[in-house]
């Protein structure tokens, strides 16, 4: 699996990844929104997005912020047709490898109900709290992964 910077040609795909997510306070996510995100990633430090590809096929999108030795993963989204096959976990492992190689020692995240939240609640990741997603309104689990933890 590779994680690469998004291109403008990925706008439709990334918007499609979010098609069944609950609407944010600003409404649904459209390709024009994604185009604005890509511009922000290119010209500003901080928040970044990466497209995940497996065997040349786009499978998902990751949104995160990295500051020196700490990162915060905001969203890992797999396109609906490919969900349930372990792609989200593989994306997280690939991202963790990238972070570790760049010196990141702690990664924090908020997980909506699903495999990552389940693993956190079962003790696979360090649970740091609970809350409600600001965009989704769904319950979430706050967690932390360190460089020495297996994903």
Least reliable range by pLDDT among 36-50, 84-98, 125-139? 125-139
Task: Find all residues with CB under 8 Å of 48, minimum gap 6, and list them.
Answer: 41, 63, 64, 65, 66
In a domain, 118, yes or no: yes
Q: How many domains does one find in the chain?
A: 1
pTM score:
0.82
Indicate which CATH number applies to the domain containing 11: 3.40.630.30
In a domain, 151, yes or no: no
Domain region containing 62:
2-146
Measure the CA angle with vertex 139, ends 135 and 142; round to 5°: 90
Average of pLDDT values for 100-122? 83
Least reliable range by pLDDT among 7-11, 46-50, 133-137, 142-146? 133-137
């Amino acid at each position: 699996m590779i994680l690469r910077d998004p291109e403008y040609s990925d706008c439709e795909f990334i918007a499609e990844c979010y098609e069944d997510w609950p609407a944010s306070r600003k409404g649904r996510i459209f390709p024009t929104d994604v185009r604005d995100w890509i511009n922000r990633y290119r010209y500003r430090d901080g928040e970044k997005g990466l497209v995940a590809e497996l065997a040349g096929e786009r499978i998902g999108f990751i949104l995160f912020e990295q500051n020196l030795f700490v990162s915060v993963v905001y969203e890992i989204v797999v396109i609906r047709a490919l969900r349930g096959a372990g792609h989200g976990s593989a994306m997280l492992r690939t991202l963790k490898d990238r972070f570790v190689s760049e010196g990141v020692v702690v990664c924090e995240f908020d997980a909506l109900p699903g495999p990552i939240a389940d693993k956190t609640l079962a003790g696979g990741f360090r649970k740091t709290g609970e809350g409600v997603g600001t965009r989704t309104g769904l319950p979430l689990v706050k967690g932390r992964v360190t460089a020495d933890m297996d994903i």
